[in-house]
Amino acid sequence: MADVIKNAFLAGLGLVSLTREKAEEFAKDLIKRGELTETEKPKFIKDLLEQSEKTKTEMEEKVEKAVDAILKKMNIPSRKEFEELKNKVEELTQLLNKKQEESEN
């Protein structure tokens, strides 16, 4: 029963904004309603926070993949691709400057 309530609570909070303080408040409320015992409280809070962190990580990964897909569709380079191109231009500029110096000597 606690799992059903926990999952509903997590969904309602959006999972990302869950703090220890909110988890403690929720656990106290469940204890008052008789749906959770005081001895179950520490594990319940730990599980709640772990699930929240897991969901947050999953959401971040999904958003990152969606952004990457949009950038590819729009033919916009990613930050990594941009940095690689920037580094290549710097290398070529240094090489060109070196060649020009050699030809002047």
What is the extent of the structural domain holding 49?
2-74
CB 43 within 8 A of CB 27: no
In total, how many domains does the chain have? 2
d(CA 25, CA 86): 50
Residues 47 and 89 in one domain: no
d(CA 100, CA 95): 9
Q: How many CB atoms lie within 10 A of CB 52?
A: 21
Residues 40 and 64 in one domain: yes
Residues 40 and 90 in one domain: no
For the stretch 59-87, pLDDT in tens is 878 888 888 888 788 888 888 899 999 99
d(CA 15, CA 1): 19
For the stretch 20-64, pLDDT in tens is 888 888 899 999 999 999 999 999 999 988 888 888 788 878 888
CB 55 within 8 A of CB 6: no
Residues 56 and 85 in one domain: no
Is pTM beyond 0.75 here?
A: no
User: What angle in degrees, to the nearest 10, is found between the helix axes of 2-13 and 20-32?
Assistant: 140
Nearest to 48 by CA among 93, 6, 81: 6
